[in-house]
Amino acid sequence: MEQSPRLYDRILEEHLASHRQMAWVSGPRQVGKTTVCRALGTHYLNWDNADDRKVILRGPAAVAEAAGLATLRAERPTVVFDELHKHGKWRNFLKGFFDVYGGKARVVVTGSSRLEVFRRGGDSLMGRYFLFRMHPWSVAECLHPTVPAAPVRAPAAIAAENWEALWSHGGFPEPFLRREARFTNRWRALRHEQFFQQEVREVAQLQELATLETFATLLTERSGQQLVYANLAQEVGVAVDTARRWIDLLGRLHYGFLVRPWFANVAKALRKEPKWFLRDWSAVDDPGARAETLVACHLLKAVEGWTDLGLGRFELRYLRDKMKREVDFLVVRDRKPWFLVEVKNAERALSPALRYFQEATKAPHAFQAVMDMNHVDADCFAERAPVVVPARTLLSQLL
């Protein structure tokens, strides 16, 4: 697959053309944030570049001079700040720059995944930015990298080679586009090393870094499973509170994410135990767990993307009760259950739990998404009763 425009190119172009607020772009390491943002910018400043850092440290006026904001232009230039969060007073700097020069320049702020972590302290930036959370390639992005007007798209057939590439290499741009097993293996190992040796070290002063890395390996093996903090803590020899803090840290740095149970109007539903999913589903060896993780990542991209675009307020949950009935995912729209998803690799027989939980939650749609089914050119969301659908058809209708 040749390099092609990403969904986020269009999202940010539309935002910069229509809104005065800064665009903050957050997401996992190596998901493509810098590539997308730098292509949109007319002036690019990277805190890691010594020359750019000197300009930033001289203050907003120096940046404005370097970006040529005093020169008459047909349209406002776009100034991109990369890795700016490493500046100790980055929030104050941005507030000062935006308040003085926001009418003369469009502003994009990006960098490592820590952008969302460092939101405490400094002057308030409320009302001055919109956050956009970037995710890896998905089925829908392969088909139509355009900004949707509504959450649900028309179904479309993904090319077989793109589906296989997503399954085998994941959705991070470099391995997905390159599609070479040896490269993917080396890329994944290097990304893992950089995450713990650079990302984690810069955010948290941890003496038990090796133990945290072992902890993360256990989580990789358990992607798609419920978390029992006491068991995890015992396996690596740390306190339960430490295990909880580490889960929170790994989530905030986009190593993985939690999906919490939904219990409103569900008798004897679980309320506390979340499920953990790895961000890179291609690193999950077990086929069943990889399938569930792939769908989880697609659904997370959809709910966060729809929310960021202002299409509503969306959440990703799962369902399980004390009778051990379970449905893998529930998408909540404006605080009301919208659709359920049960993931299967090959099973066509409809899960009884799907029907049970649809009746309990009153969700309009319930899907059993089967990974090995070929695309069907039909709208999944036209169905109201529980239905077996190809995973690739359902995912093509998302984001």
Which segments of the chain are extended strands (E)? 22-26, 43-46, 78-82, 106-110, 129-133, 256-261, 275-278, 314-320, 326-333, 336-344, 365-370, 387-390
What is the distance between the alpha carbons of residues 216 and 210, in angstroms, rounded to a whole number?
A: 10
Q: How far is CA 234 from the centre of its chain?
A: 30
Q: What angle do CA 21, 25, 29 make, to 5 degrees?
A: 170
The answer, yes or no, to whether residue 1 has pLDDT greater than 50, is no
Tens-digit pLDDT profile for residues 90-119: 989 999 999 999 999 999 999 765 565 555
Mean pLDDT computed over 294-317: 98
Are the C-beta atoms of 224 and 277 separated by less than 8 Å? yes
Is residue 87 within 8 A of residue 93, CB to CB? The reply is yes
Q: What is the mean pLDDT of residues 304-311?
A: 97
Mean pLDDT of 189-196: 91
pLDDT at 122: 45
Give the integer Cα–Cα distance in Å for 175 and 171.
Answer: 8
Higher pLDDT, 382 or 323: 382
Closest C-alpha among 146, 91, 147 to residue 120: 91
Evaluate if residue 71 carries a pLDDT over 60.
yes
Give the pLDDT of residue 269: 74
In this prediction the pTM is 0.94
Average pLDDT over residues 47-67: 96
Intervals of CATH 3.40.50.300 along the chain: 7-133
**Res. 124: pLDDT tops 80:** no
Average pLDDT for 145-166: 96
Per-residue pLDDT, 309: 97
| Residue recorded with tokens 């959440």 | 315
Residue 88 has pLDDT above 70, yes or no: yes
Computed over every residue of the chain, the mean pLDDT equals 92
- pLDDT score of 201: 78
Structurally, what CATH architecture does the domain formed by 7-133 represent? 3-Layer(aba) Sandwich (3.40)
> Looking at residue 99, what is its pLDDT?
95
Stretch 368-395: mean pLDDT, rounded? 98
Angle at 286 between CA 284 and CA 289, to 5 degrees: 75
Q: What percent of the chain has pLDDT over 70?
A: 96
pLDDT at 113: 58
When pLDDT is averaged across residues 142-171 and rounded to a whole number, the result is: 96
Reading the block at residue 303, the tokens are 């709910």
Query: What confidence tier does 169 reach under pLDDT thresholds 50, 70, 90?
Result: very high
Residue-wise pLDDT for 230-274, tens only, equals 999 999 999 999 999 999 999 988 999 999 999 887 877 777 899
For the record, the structure tokens of 274 come out as 């979340």
Q: What is the pLDDT of residue 126?
A: 82
Res 2: pLDDT? 53
Contacts (Cβ under 8 Å, ≥6 apart) of 63:
45, 55, 56, 79, 97, 101
With beta carbons less than 8 A apart as the criterion, state whether 396 and 145 touch. Answer: no
Average pLDDT over residues 308-323: 95
Backbone dihedral angles phi then psi of residue 130, each to the nearest 5 degrees = -120, 140
- CA-to-CA distance for 234 and 160, rounded, in angstroms? 43
What is the pLDDT at residue 214? 92
CA distances from 60 to 56, 93, 95, 140, 297 (A): 7, 7, 10, 40, 38
**Of the ranges 48-52, 115-119, 200-204, the best mean pLDDT one:** 48-52
> pLDDT of 247-259, one tens digit each?
999 998 899 999 9
